[in-house]
Amino acid sequence: MKNHRFPRPWKRWLSYDNAFILIVLIVFVVLCFIPTGFEGSLAGNSTLSRGEVVEADNSRVAEFGIVKTGDQKLQVKMSDGPFEGEVITAYNTLLGKAELDEFYEVGDSVLVVVSTDEQGGVAIARAKGHYRITIELILFAIFAVFLIIFAGRTGARALLSLLFTALVIWKILLPGVLKGYDPVLIALGIVTLLNVVILYLVGGVNRKGTVAFLGASLGIMLTCGLAFLFGSHFHLSGAVRPFAETLVYSGYINLNLGRIFLAGIFIASSGAVMDLAMDVATAMNEVVLKKPGISVRETIGSGFAVGRAVVGTMVTTLILAYSSTYMTMMMVFMAQGIPLSIMFNMNYVAAEFLNIVVGSFGLVTVAPFTALMGGIIYVKMKKR
């Protein structure tokens, strides 16, 4: 009797990689339809629509340098929604905070919240910012096309991992913390899930993906432990983060801002940790493929060599990424002649110092962790 086998195309499509991609896609689609529990924040008689400013009355706006206070009275021609084609009056309240306020001119496309009265007419309308959704989608589409053109199938997988990560944060992490679950535990679970999805999508469901996953997981666990170990000695509250007080005053007074702050430390460094783990795992995989008879010791040594080279630039990248966010703050300190000892003792500067250094610890240790895992899995387990 002949042994019936799948044709070659079926073998290719029934691989572990494709099965894993299919599972991720199914989970992605399911997450898209799962409600966060925080939808529908607008009042029942309010709608969100887009419009174009056709007239701006600034007579009630007072200017103090770059700061503006008062109210703009705008005439907005609606582009969609129940009042499409109509010109309605909308107001823009300026709080005197340049980082929050937006000022509109004729021709600007704006997002408007329109509240209706009992007869269905406009009760009041308020501008909620320049309309940026279209340009954001265009920019992301260009990025996606370039990523796929350059990296091919790997680029498509990376794009899927990017969208999956954003969806998991929005659908699971943020709602979970708002509902009162422990921020550290839920963040660890989310980061572990993302480790699995991202590293196996990019590296493949094989030894390379496994080595990268184990190395990254050990690095993130160490980062989490160091955040707890040193966090209490810094005497920091989670209120040092932007909008933390606003969150509390929005009705979430029972949230533990301190644990949210600690969770944010290893979440912030997890991406760089995964990147470094994949770099080391890929380089070690190439060494083993080119030299099949290599010993465990030599394999680990190769991983250490690659890790040393990558860590040097990766730590600097992490510092630059964090410091650029607070560039204007540091310029204020310098302009006012504040001594470095006072600056580094300030709570929000100390918070960023803790964030950067603990995150860098994870980067420094993930390379040897990955190298050790690679030596065991690539060579020792293969020989067995």
The pLDDT score that the predictor gives to residue 83 is: 87
The string of pLDDT tens digits covering residues 259-293 is: 888 888 888 888 888 988 998 999 898 888 888 88
Residue 1 has pLDDT above 80, yes or no: no
338 DSSP assignment: -
CA dist 157 → 145, 149, 198, 235 (Å): 13, 12, 8, 42
The string of pLDDT tens digits covering residues 333-353 is: 888 888 888 888 888 788 888
* Segments of the chain assigned E as strands: 46-57, 61-64, 67-78, 87-95, 109-116, 122-130
pTM of the model: 0.84
Residue 362 three-state SS: helix
- The domain locations on the chain are 46-131, 152-383
**Confidence band for 48, pLDDT divided at 50, 70 and 90:** confident
**Confidence band for 3, pLDDT divided at 50, 70 and 90:** very low
The pLDDT score that the predictor gives to residue 40 is: 64
R_g of the chain computed on alpha carbons: 26
The pLDDT score that the predictor gives to residue 381 is: 64
Pairwise CA distance, residues 197 & 343, whole Å? 40
User: Residue 224 is inside which H or E element, if any?
Assistant: helix 207-231
Q: Is 126 exposed, middle or buried (0-12, 13-18, 19+ CB in 10 A)?
A: middle
**How long is the chain?**
384
Q: Which CATH class is domain 46-131?
A: mainly beta
The string of pLDDT tens digits covering residues 79-121 is: 988 888 889 999 999 888 877 889 999 999 999 998 888 887 8
The alpha helices in 14-125, defined as continuous H runs, are 16-33
The string of pLDDT tens digits covering residues 215-262 is: 999 988 988 888 888 877 887 777 777 788 888 888 888 888 888 888
CA angle 376, 305, 290 (to 5 degrees): 65
